[in-house]
Amino acid sequence: MSNDRTERTDAPVASNFIRNAIDEDNRNRKWAGRVETRFPPEPNGYLHVGHAKSICLNFGVAADYDGICHLRFDDTNPEKESMEYADSIVEAVEWLGYSWDKAGKSHMYFASDYYEQLYHFAEILIERGKAYVDSQSAEEMRVNRGSATEAGRPSPFRDRTPAENLDLFRRMRAGEFAEGAHVLRAKIDMASPNFNMRDPVIYRIRFAHHYRTGDTWCVYPMYDYAHCISDAIEGITHSLCTLEFEDHRPLYDWVLDQLAQAGEFKRPLPQQIEFARLNVTYAITSKRKLLQLVTEKHVAGWDDPRMPTIVGLRRRGFTPGSIRLFCDRIGVSKADSWIDMGVLEQSLRDDLDEAAPRAIAVLDPLKLVIDNFPEDGEEPCTAPVHPHHPERGSRAFPFTRELWIEREDFNEHPPKGYFRLFPGNKVRLKYGFIVECTGFDKDEQGNVTAVHCNYFADSKSGTEGANNYKVKGTIHWVSAKTAYPAEVRLYDRLFNEPQPDAGGRDFLTAINPNSKRVVQAYLEPGAAAMNAEDRVQFERHGYFVADRYDSQPGKPVFNRIVSLKDSWGR
C-alpha cells in the first residue's frame, strides 16, 4: 500500500485572495519576502474536518512561499484543556502530512509559555492608561455593555488611576481575590458599534490547575488578548483565521498597536486575514455538540468512524491525500457556505481508485453448490490486483464445489430486468465459470439456505471457449473452502439531515439509525493478510480499511470507508 504521507507536488497553485495579499506584501517587501503562518488550536477537544481545512491552508500557504507554519497551542483556558488533546492535535497534523520543523528548528509553541510576557504587557497597558481593573459583577458588566442600538455605559471603576489598577492587578495575580471579584479590561471605547471594542476583558481570575503550568497562575489571559501577542512574539506575518474573528480584528490590531507604541514590538505587525470556515452537510463540527455525542454515547468515542473528527476520519479509512485533495477542491472564499459531504467522499474515491488493490468480499453470504463439480476439486482462478495496472500482478484463489455468493444475487421470483441467479438462468461467476441455476433449498421458515447450479467446464474466464457463452449477469463469489471469515462494519453518514442542527433543532433527532451495521462476511484468502490501515476496494461494495485498532492477524476487521457511488440524493 502507498504511504499515507505523500509528498507535495509541483502542480500549479490556484490563486485566491489570501495568496493575492501575500503576493502584494512580497512585492512591497513588507516582510522582506518572509511568510510565517500559524495553526493555533485550543487543546480542549479533538480536531475535526473544519480544522483540517485550516491546517491545509496555513501549512500549505507557508510551504508554497518557502516559509514556515507554527503549531501553537492556545492553552489559556485551563478548565477544559489537557495533554491528551494536545497530543491528539500533534498526531493529526503529522498524519495530514505537515511539519512545523524547518532548518533543524521546531516551531511548536504554547501560549502558556508566554504567560509571563503576557502579564508584563498587561502591566504596560495599565501604566499607559489603556487598561483598568473592573470590580463590577458579571451581570452588571453585561447590562452596562449596551446593545446594538444603545452605547455601553462606562464602568464606575473605569477612571481608577494606573497606580490603583496596577496594585489591584498584582494582588489578583497573588491570589488575594475570589473568582469574579475583578477582571482586567482594555480601555478602548464603550460607544463603539463593535462590541469587541467596548472595553473587552483581557484577564480574569481562575483558580484552576493548568495541564502545563500547574498552580503557578490564578489569572489567565483571554484569547483575543493572548492570540495577537503570541503572533507578534513569534514573528507571524499573516494570521489566517475564520470569518467569526472578522469583528475581532480591530481589537487584534489595537492591542498590537498599543504595544508597538510602547516600544515592545517593531512594525510591521502581524496581519489578520479571515476566510470562510468549513461547513459540511450531514455533519456536526461544533466541539460542544461533538463532545455531547461522545459523553452521551451516541458514538463509540472521538475516533468513532462516523465522527467528522480527524481521528474519526482516519479510523474510517480516509487518507491524508484525500483530505488535502478535498481542501484543494473547495478552495478558499470570504463567504460562509455549505459543502456537500459528497465532495469529501468523492475526493476519497478519486484518491483511492489508483492506489487501492482489489479483492472480493461477500457481505451477506448465501451458499452456492456446484452439483456437477468434483466434491474435493479445486480449479485455480486469477484476477488482477488492479484492473488498470497489470504491472501490479495478479491474485489467486480457488474455485470449489461450494461457494459463497451475495444473497441478493439470487431471486426465486425475479422482477423484470433481473439478470442474476434464478431457476433456469445462467450467469458468469466473475473470474470463474458460467453456471446455470438448477434449484434451491429452503428451511422450515421458507428462507433460502442454498442455491444449486451446474457449471460449464469450457467456460472459464480467460480461456479459449469462454466467449462461446452469452450471459447478461455477472456475480461475485468466494470459495467456501478457503474464504476467510471477517467482521465488516458498514458505516454510513451519522445524520439523515443535511444540516442536523438547522434552525435550532435538536441535532440528536437527526441521527441516522442505520449509520452502522456489523456483518460477518467472507473474504478471498489474500485479503485476510492485510495490515491495520491497509485499504482495499472490495469489488462492487466500495472501499474498505482494516481497522487501525481492532483488526488483528488472523482476525481481520474491516470498516467501509465509502461506497463506489454516491447514493445520497442522486
Q: Which residues contact 464 (CB under 8 A, 6 or more apart)?
A: none
Say which of 287, 316, 420, 428 is annotated catalytic: 287
Angle ∠(537,542,543) on CA atoms, nearest 5 = 50
The phi, psi pair for 271, rounded to 5°, reads -110, 125
User: What is the spatial distance between Cα 355 and Cα 368, in angstroms, rounded to a whole number?
Assistant: 32
Is 128 among the catalytic positions? no
Is 102 among the catalytic positions? no
Which stretches of 198-344 are assigned E, i.e. beta strand? 201-205, 219-221, 238-242, 271-275, 278-280, 337-339
Q: Compute and round to an integer the Cα radius of gyration of the chain.
A: 31
Strands 516-523 and 484-491: antiparallel
The phi, psi pair for 38, rounded to 5°, reads -150, 150
Question: How far, in Å, are 25, 250, 469, 474 from residue 435 at the CA level?
Answer: 71, 75, 10, 10
Q: How far apart are the first and last CA of the chain?
A: 32
Residue 565 CB neighbours (<10 A): 10
Amino acid letter, 521:
A
Largest CA distance in the chain: 101
User: What is the spatial distance between Cα 266 and Cα 274, in angstroms, rounded to a whole number?
Assistant: 23
Peptide bond into 41 cis (omega under 30): no
User: What is the spatial distance between Cα 295 and Cα 301, in angstroms, rounded to a whole number?
Assistant: 8
User: What is the spatial distance between Cα 274 and Cα 246, in angstroms, rounded to a whole number?
Assistant: 6
Say which of 42, 81, 345, 406 is annotated catalytic: 42
Question: How far, in Å, are 59, 320, 356, 366, 538 from residue 8 at the CA level?
Answer: 12, 12, 20, 46, 29
Is 287 among the catalytic positions? yes
Amino acid letter, 289:
K
Q: Which residues contact 159 (CB under 8 A, 6 or more apart)?
A: 132
Residues 27-52: b if buried by 16+ CB within 10 A, e if exposed:
eeeebeeebbbbbbbbbbbbbbbbbb
CB 396 within 8 Å of CB 437: no
Say which of 173, 204, 206, 277 is annotated catalytic: 277
Q: Is 213 exposed, middle or buried (CB count within 10 Å of its CB: 0-12, 13-18, 19+)?
A: middle
Cell numbers given for 322: 484525500
Strands 358-359 and 535-538: parallel
Question: C-alpha dihedral over 440, 441, 446, 448, to 10 degrees?
Answer: -60
Catalytic residue positions, numbered: 42, 277, 287
